[in-house]
Amino acid sequence: MSETNGKVVCMVTGGSGLYGMAIRAHVDSSAEEKDATWVFLSSKDGDLRDRKATEAIFERVRPTHVIHLAAMVGGLFANMSKKVEFYRENMLMNDNVMECCRIYKVQKLVSCLSTCIFPDKTTYPIDETMIHDGAPHLSNEGYAYAKRMIDVMNRCYKDEYGCNFTSVIPTNIYGPHDNYSIQGGHVVPGLIHKCYLAKKNGTPFEVWGTGSPLRQFIYSGDLAALTVWVLRSYDSTDPIILSVPEEKEVTIKDVALMIRDAMEFKGEVKFLTDKADGQYKKTASNEKLAGLRPDFQFTPMAEGLKKACDWFCANYETCRK
């Protein structure tokens, strides 16, 4: 990374979340990242929906590089019921962060999209060129359109101001420090929490939906390492999908059974088929990533899930749930 007045300052918004905490752990354990000062933000450092608060952060930290992860994030059920908030809050945060990166001459900004913002009706596998090819699934259109605008604005900032802005597109993330809320969280932390309660209460482990939808999951530690690589070495405005290969796609049922094993739950696993399944699949191609990082070794899912389950059990009293 090039330097400004001898200092490289990497600022991570959303630094207290699932993804941000994984980057923090990666940076802490990696000798190569010691050439920069890393600053991890949470909402307590300032509300990024607020322009003045965002400017105050940039004024104080003076970042040379930014990884922008802060977002209003939630699972299927939260997305369906709060579309206006998912759109507005994410638009405000993204607009404030991007504009401050321009004003404060940040050398590189990496923002975060998601595979769930791709068109609902599409061909598979989806790749980086297809983001705007059709409407997203109705269940999360507020979140999806706010995220899609990051890609549009990355190009606009490059064209008009020459800014070096890009974005990553992770598939479903899981790992320690997730939001384990059963109502508002994503599928993996929700299942871990439900399995924990089933084991504790001697009740069946209930999985919402049929268990048949297919998903690619990435362990947060793997994603952290790849994201720091993007910050250092990937110099294109075009987004890049950060995902395990297509053949590593699993059903929700596979995931539930791996969680059952990781939690050593011996009771019944029940599929509540009257609950919504969401999109059947959203298979993403990791060809671009594989071409650039053919050496990268992904954590096997059973191993990553074991770490996520162990973390949840050890931090049950204090974690988000």
Residue 24 or 253 with smaller CB distance to ligand NDP? 24
Residue 14 or 136 with smaller CB distance to ligand NDP? 14
Taking CB under 6 A as the rule, does residue 166 contact ligand NDP?
Answer: no
Closest to 116 in 3D by CA, of 171, 190, 72:
171
Q: Are 189 and 179 in contact (CB under 8 A)?
A: yes
Q: Concatenate the DSSP letters of all residues of 36-101 into one string.
A: SEEEE--GGG--TTSHHHHHHHHHHH--SEEEE-------HHHHHH-HHHHHHHHHHHHHHHHHHH
Q: Residue holding tokens 């630094």?
A: 15
Cα–Cα distance, 316 to 180 (Å, whole number): 9
Residue 142 in tokens: 């507020």
Residue 95 in tokens: 């607009």
Q: Omega of the bond prior to 213 within 30 degrees of 0, cis?
A: no
Q: Of the candidates 9, 10, 14, 284, which one interacts with ligand NDP according to CB under 6 A? A: 14
Q: What is the DSSP letter of 238?
A: S
Q: Measured from the CB of residue 183, what is the shortest distance to ligand NDP in angstroms? A: 14
| # residues near ligand NDP by CB under 6 A | 26
Cα angle: 227, vertex 235, 43; to 5 degrees: 40
Compute the Cα dihedral for 14, 19, 21, 22 and give only its sign: negative
| 301-314 helix and 252-262 helix, angle to the nearest 10 degrees | 50
Residue 171 or 265 with smaller CB distance to ligand NDP? 171
Taking CB under 6 A as the rule, does residue 176 contact ligand NDP?
Answer: no
Number of residue whose CB is nearest ligand NDP: 17
Q: Measured from the CB of residue 99, what is the shortest distance to ligand NDP in angstroms? A: 15
Q: Are 187 and 75 in contact (CB under 8 A)?
A: yes
**How many residues does the structure list for the chain?**
321
Q: Measured from the CB of residue 2, what is the shortest distance to ligand NDP in angstroms? A: 26
Q: Of the candidates 172, 216, 227, 286, which one interacts with ligand NDP according to CB under 6 A? A: 172
Write out the binding residues for ligand NDP, residues 84-143 only, by CB under 6 A: 93, 112, 114
Please confirm, yes or no, whether 87 is among the known catalytic residues.
no
Taking CB under 6 A as the rule, does residue 70 contact ligand NDP?
Answer: yes
Q: Of the candidates 1, 24, 33, 47, which one interacts with ligand NDP according to CB under 6 A? A: 47
Closest to 182 in 3D by CA, of 173, 172, 193:
193
Choices 165-173, 205-213, 230-238, 254-262; region in contact with ligand NDP by CB under 6 A: 165-173
Q: Which residues contact 61 (CB under 8 A, 6 or more apart)?
A: 9, 11, 39
**Catalytic pick from 19, 104, 124, 143?**
143
Q: Measured from the CB of residue 261, what is the shortest distance to ligand NDP in angstroms? A: 22
Q: Measured from the CB of residue 94, what is the shortest distance to ligand NDP in angstroms? A: 9
Write out the binding residues for ligand NDP, residues 274-303 only, by CB under 6 A: none
Q: Of the candidates 79, 139, 154, 179, which one interacts with ligand NDP according to CB under 6 A? A: 179
Cα–Cα distance, 238 to 81 (Å, whole number): 31
Taking CB under 6 A as the rule, does residue 16 contact ligand NDP?
Answer: yes
Site string for ligand NDP, 17-36 (x = CB under 6 A): xxxx----------------
Residue 170 or 265 with smaller CB distance to ligand NDP? 170
Taking CB under 6 A as the rule, does residue 43 contact ligand NDP?
Answer: yes
Q: Active-site residue numbers? A: 143
Q: Which residues contact ligand NDP (rule: CB under 6 A)?
A: 14-20, 42-44, 47-49, 69-73, 93, 112, 114, 170, 172-173, 179, 186
